[in-house]
């Protein structure tokens, strides 16, 4: 006995659950990809140019004023 559903009802039910399963898989993959993309952007160090590094070295006292001026002229 088919209880009035017929063959069409069985096919529709199977396709429906496959679509639901596909939607769940797609959502999980999308969430994981977006999360990985956000995390990788957070860990990238900010880029510094040579002059900024030179200024920081001078501020920390690693180089003298004369060395700073000479290196600055070399960079420009």
Residues 32, 54: Cα–Cα separation, whole Å? 40
Domain ranges in the chain?
1-44, 46-76
- pLDDT tens by residue, 25-54: 999 999 888 877 666 655 656 677 889 899
Residues 32, 40: Cα–Cα separation, whole Å? 12
The percent of residues in the chain predicted with pLDDT above 70, rounded, is: 71
What pLDDT band is residue 74 in, cutting at 50, 70 and 90?
very high
Q: Can you give the pTM of this predicted structure?
A: 0.41
Closest CA to 75 of 67, 60, 59: 67
Decide: 72 and 51 in contact? Cβ < 8 Å.
yes
């Amino acid at each position: 006995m088919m209880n009035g559903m017929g063959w069409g009802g069985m096919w529709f039910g199977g396709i429906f659950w496959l679509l639901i399963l596909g939607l769940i898989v797609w959502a999980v993959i999308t969430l994981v990809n977006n999360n990985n993309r956000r995390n990788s952007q957070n860990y990238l160090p900010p880029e510094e140019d040579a002059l900024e590094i030179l200024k920081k070295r001078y501020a920390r006292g690693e180089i003298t004023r004369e060395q700073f001026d000479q290196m600055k002229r070399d960079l420009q």
